[in-house]
Structure formats: C-alpha cells, structure tokens
Structure 1
Amino acid sequence: MGNENVPAAANDDSELPAFFRRRLLTPPHASAYLSHHLGCNVAVATLAKWRCLTSFGPPFHKVMRKVVYARDDLDAWIAARLGKAQRSTSETGDAA
C-alpha cells in the first residue's frame, strides 16, 4: 500500500525553500531558518545581539566583513537546546 501520508525524512531538503538548502546563510536567512525549525520567531536583531553581547546564540563565521551561519551549526545549536522528549507536561525528568 502507499506511503503517501508518511512525512519526508527530517534531513530531506526537497520541501525547504531554496535558501534553506544553502550551506552558508546570511543573518536574515538564518533568522528565517531558526524560526522555521524552532516554531517561534528569532529576529535578525536578536541574532545580532547574541553575536555581540552573549555566547548564547548559534556559532557564526565572518567572511571578510560579512556574517554568515553554517546550516550544520544552526542544526547542532537547535539540537543542543532541545529538552528531553516528554510524553506529558507533568513529567519532571527525575524518573529513572
């Protein structure tokens, strides 16, 4: 029988906008990428603040004077911030 309703693999880029498939993303594209994958808005200004004031944000690179984000770095940063998967909001994570 068909697998029409099975979602594409998580690493399948065919459903993403063209700029999401680039290896290096500009801050506006990185903002859109993070917003898409986190489900909440991450403003370009927030990325700029994280770069200048904190070490919380994703790693970035400078090519000459241009700031870029490697897509693999963004994916790793997202994965590092995800909490343990839970089945209920009442789970505390203390159970063995």
Structure 2
Amino acid sequence: MAAPSNRQNQRPFHTKRHRALFLDTAPGTLSVWRCTGRYNLPFVKIGRKVRYRRTDLVAWLEKRTRETGATA
C-alpha cells in the first residue's frame, strides 16, 4: 500500500486507511480504538463515514510522547 501523497496530507479530513498509514497501524485498529474507547482519538462522523483530521492526530501523538519508560 502506497503512502498518502503530499496533496492528500493537505486535506483537512482523511479516511482511516490514510490515517492508519500515518500512525503506522492497520485501518481496523483505528476502528477498534474508536469503538472500544481504548484511546481518546478524535474523529468526525459524516453520515456513515468516519474521518480523522491530521492536526488532531498530531496533537494526539504529542500528548502520548514520553520522556521515560513510565506509562502512567
């Protein structure tokens, strides 16, 4: 599967496939995280479609950045 192009990265909303590539995880993993509430990963519902903002994912990753091995 190819990485999203620069043009795709400039769009405000992306599919779970594109965001899964960004997070280096499987698209289904994003669905599990969203449905189980395992992680507070922001998303937008548009009808039946689920979209993720790149800016939200970057902020989410920043909050998860750790200086040590502590997980708390």
Normalised to the residue count of structure 1, the TM-score between the two structures is 0.60
Structure (1 or 2) with the greater helix fraction: 2
- Percent identity of equivalent pairs: 35
Q: Measured at CA, do residues 62 and 92 of structure 1 come closer, stay the same or move farther in structure 2, by a change above 3 Å?
A: closer
Structure 2: which 5+ runs fail to align? none
Structure 1: which 5+ runs fail to align? 1-15, 36-41, 85-90
Larger relative contact order, structure 1 or 2 (CA cutoff 8 Å, min sep 6): 2
Name 1:34's counterpart in structure 2. Answer: 23
Name 1:62's counterpart in structure 2. Answer: 45
Query: What RMSD over aligned residues (CA atoms) do the two structures have, in Å?
Result: 2.1
Q: Measured at CA, do residues 83 and 63 of structure 1 come closer, stay the same or move farther in structure 2, by a change above 3 Å?
A: same
- 1:66 deviates by 0.7
The list of structure 1 runs, each at least 4 consecutive aligned residues, that deviate by more than 2 angstroms after superposition, is: none
Would you say how many aligned residue pairs link Structure 1 and Structure 2? Answer: 66
